[in-house]
Structure 1
Amino acid sequence: MESAIPLHLETTRMRHKRVPDDYQPPYPSFVARYKPAVSRVVMAYFGVQYRGAAPSSALEALEDIAGMFASEGGPSHWDRARYVDQAGYDTTVTVAYWDDVARFDAWFAPTREAWTGRSRDGVGTFIEVLRPTVARHETLFSSPDRPEGVAVVAEGMSGEVQEHAYWGGMRDRIPLSQTDAMAPGGAPELIRDGARLRVKAHDNLCLIRSGQDWSDTEASERKLYLDNVEPVLREGMDFLRDDGLAIGCYTNRYMKVLAADGSVSEKSYGQSWWKSLAALERWAESHPTHVRIFGAAMKYLSALGPSAKLRLYHEVTVAAADEQLFEYLNCHPKTGMLAAVVTVTA
């Protein structure tokens, strides 16, 4: 049994784990392992939104960003997903990952100007970027043989890890949690730059991407998931989208992953920005919507046991203030982190 925290990031604990050292989890889970030389990763979300029929400019934007990804310094991995947001805007989000910040920085400067520096007819565009140290980040996978998201740029997967299947495991997998409570500081502010709107968030902002992959399931298991688990998951995701602000969730997107040809795959993920890791933990541990998600998932997994072919994963980051960038052009006022803004700076 391995620790989720890699050896080179282990330190003397000032804050104790939620379980004793001899804790044995009831089922296996795995985490991504980066090369020790990797000190930071980058996760960059490029969004395009529109209402009604898709204008040609939306398709052109998606082709443009894919072309930029293929250029010098582009990401090691990217994927694309789609959803309709709380204001009824069809939104496609392309998320890209790097394990080399210098490469990203050189690539990003012209890309940023092309994406949010010029208007496109009938669409809004946005960029949301985190570039955390690996000490501020964790992943978890139910299976070690199909990485998703940021784990694709990692060197590989761990063996079975100890810190999972209990409340608090998410925090215990983040190396910084050994010494830091990661409490939030400050409030989001809006900075106007002509037509561009930037959000300056705050220290220890939390991001989670939590995914589901039912592409390997056979007919009976697929039906069980889609009829009994997915509707409960969607209810919880809709709650966070529409009413999450009151409990510390700034914004939530529940998206269907798109295949390479643009069709909808049998994968989905929820992606949300939280005021703090603690707020995310409170929702997960005690809010009725997540209690129902957890109950439906446990019933499903208990019924199927080791034969279950549903794959689950997540990645969680608690980012320092200087590791964040949020930028929006011609987007509606509740898009992404714009929904969190309470102070306007000229």
Structure 2
Amino acid sequence: MTWSVEYPRVLPARRPPGHEPRAPRWTLVLDAPTSLLTADYLAIQLPARGGPDEDRFLELARASAAGPGSTELLVATGPEGTVELVHLAYFTDPTAHERWLHDAPLPGWFSRLDPADVGFGAWHEVLQCHPDRFETIYSDPRWEFGFGGCAGTAREPMTTNGYFGAARDRFPVSAIDPLEPVGKQVRRDDVASRGRRLRVESGHDMAVIRSGQFWEPAEGEQLVDYEHNLQSKLLTGMAHLRDNPADTGTLSLRILTSLDPASLAPRRETSVLGHFHSLGELEEWAASHHTHLAIYEHAIEAKRHWGDARSVVTWHEVVVLPRTARSEYVNCVPTTGLLPWAPTLLTVE
């Protein structure tokens, strides 16, 4: 028994008549109704790895395990050569998330940071939306990624895939809402963020994607194919998005490496967290730019070649957020996350 959101379709679907996907794909389903899904990213921004500030962050992260449906520890190269350790917590119960914010040591530490008295930066980006503004895709249903690590979720086969516009069709709300932002966000080069706590209110209908790559099971020819072929195509595509924000609508893009929570060793697992001005701009890159077409065709060919023996797994989850999305930055580099693009920037005293 699964629960889903459905609306009578008012806007036309993008699916071509008679479409049959070239490769099987799966999507996340929920066992029970929920009002909000939450992905809570809380990070420390350090000059380099190691040291007492990192140790304290990790201690607090481990002490905050109770409450989330699932947690991950990630690392990214931040702006201006910084290192960002990221604690990611997923919730399918919004009340559980509020309790965690109120009671858990890690968010409590963040809320008490004095931006004028710390030698590091920290940020907290919360993605929260109704399930009708959420969609997923998995190349293999046997692994639990993202919200799939939460109890009460499963992966089921689908055929709303394999054509450009499929991701939009997978949003239940796309049946009645064009998901179009009003106006255009403008980059600011004058954000004085050092020594300050700044809160960002995101623009309405901002799209956020977490796109994952998992190749721990890969060996031999498949390992070589990923690390020497597909991975370079992925990095080329991400570089294009990051370096051309005016053309692609890219507001923020991080390449995250998953860490073993006990040993802190990097896993053969990465994900890209990207914020975009609109779903339409993300779709345009996916449908027409050679950097994404190279990724897409390689993935289809690899699945065709290896079939069920394919040991490299790809997946993504996308949310289109209402204006009330909240992000907060403490003593961060000015180009961190959404700071340069914030339509509304509030100083928190």
TM-score, with length taken from structure 2: 0.89
1:95 corresponds to? 88
Deviations 1:238-286 (A, max 9, x none): 3323333542010101111111221010111111111111111011111
Distance 2:37 2:320 in 1: 13
TM superposition shift of 1:94: 1.5
SS in 2 for 1:75: coil
The answer to whether structure 1 residue 249 and structure 2 residue 246 are counterparts is no
The answer to whether structure 1 residue 282 and structure 2 residue 284 are counterparts is yes
Distance 2:233 2:39 in 1: 28
TM superposition shift of 1:312: 1.1
1:81 corresponds to? 74
The answer to whether structure 1 residue 313 and structure 2 residue 310 are counterparts is no
| Distance change in 2, residues 1:341/1:185 (3 Å) | same
The answer to whether structure 1 residue 325 and structure 2 residue 317 are counterparts is no
Distance 1:10 1:191 in 2: 44
Q: Map 1:53-202 to 2 at 5 A.
A: 53-70=49-66, 74-109=67-102, 112-119=107-114, 121-153=118-150, 155-185=152-182, 187=185, 195-202=196-203
| Distance change in 2, residues 1:109/1:191 (3 Å) | farther
Distance 2:173 2:192 in 1: 30
User: 8 Å contact 1:225–1:300 — kept in the other structure?
Assistant: no
User: 8 Å contact 1:211–1:268 — kept in the other structure?
Assistant: yes
User: 8 Å contact 1:217–1:309 — kept in the other structure?
Assistant: yes
1:47 corresponds to? 43
TM superposition shift of 1:194: 8.0
Distance 2:85 2:102 in 1: 22
2:274 corresponds to? 272
User: 8 Å contact 2:3–2:30 — kept in the other structure?
Assistant: no
List runs of 5+ in structure 2 lacking aligned partners. Answer: none
| Distance change in 2, residues 1:245/1:126 (3 Å) | farther
Distance 2:280 2:7 in 1: 22
Distance 2:71 2:294 in 1: 32
Deviations 1:300-323 (A, max 9, x none): 33443342111111100001112x
Q: Which one of the candidate residues 24, 29, 33 is aligned to 1:28?
A: 24
TM superposition shift of 1:112: 3.7
Distance 1:123 1:39 in 2: 35
2:239 corresponds to? 238
Distance 1:21 1:147 in 2: 32
| Distance change in 2, residues 1:39/1:235 (3 Å) | same
| Distance change in 2, residues 1:80/1:241 (3 Å) | farther
The alignment-based identity, stated in percent, is: 27
Q: Which letter does structure 1 place at the counterpart of 2:133? A: R
SS in 1 for 2:123: strand
Distance 1:344 1:8 in 2: 35
The answer to whether structure 1 residue 213 and structure 2 residue 206 are counterparts is no
Q: Which runs of 4+ in 1 moved over 4 A?
A: 186-194, 342-346
Deviations 1:126-174 (A, max 9, x none): 0000210001101111111212111222523343211011101111111
Q: Which letter does structure 1 place at the counterpart of 2:293? A: V
User: 8 Å contact 2:200–2:339 — kept in the other structure?
Assistant: yes
TM superposition shift of 1:123: 1.6
TM superposition shift of 1:293: 2.1
User: 8 Å contact 2:35–2:131 — kept in the other structure?
Assistant: yes
1:3 corresponds to? none
Equivalent residues, number: 337
Distance 2:303 2:267 in 1: 22
TM superposition shift of 1:33: 1.0
TM-score, with length taken from structure 1: 0.89
Distance 2:306 2:85 in 1: 34
Between 1:86-95 and 1:220-229, the stretch displaced more is 86-95
Distance 1:87 1:202 in 2: 25
Between 1:288-297 and 1:36-45, the stretch displaced more is 288-297
